Amino acid sequence: MTNTNTKRGPVPRERRELFAAASVAECEAWEGFDATLHEIVFDAGTRIASVYRRRKPANRTIRTAITRELKKPFKHYKRALVISLLPTDEIRFRLKGCRDAVQVDIEKLYQVALQWRAFRLMAEKRAARAAKRRARKAEGAA
């Protein structure tokens, strides 16, 4: 299966089967099997055991910075914004072609995002109460 993008994101690639046998014991006896590198998956429907490469853990830490660039120019600066995720749990923002950067701790950024969400929810509640108050006032005047 190709790894092409769809509306739901990239399609996961199928895992390549390295060896198949009728039992788990036969897979373990396979000369290329290493328990640290491979895993055995037994399919109860077909009653076949297969050997696959062990998947890498999802919670790996990064060793080098991961950098992405926005496609559109940022606000009135007419330059793309470059965002870097650093291995020190920080995010660095800078304009493309500029050396001046802003570096923010991810925890602090998350706290700010939570505050923005709380302010938005409070504003929505305030607007709902005001609309309710206006409706009651219009009902009483009529």
The pLDDT confidence band at residue 5, using thresholds 50, 70 and 90, is low
pLDDT confidence of 1, banded at 50, 70, 90? very low
Q: Which two tokens stand for residue 118?
A: 């709380």
The pLDDT assigned to 10 comes to 64
Taken in order 43, 47, 48, 51, is the CA torsion positive or negative? Answer: positive
- pLDDT of amino acid 118: 97
pTM above 0.95, yes or no: no
Q: pLDDT tens digit string along 57-111?
A: 777 788 899 999 999 999 999 999 999 999 988 999 999 999 999 999 999 999 9
For the chain, the structural domain boundaries read 5-53, 66-141
Residue 59 is predicted with a pLDDT of 73
Burial class (CB in 10 A: 0-12, 13-18, 19+), 48: middle
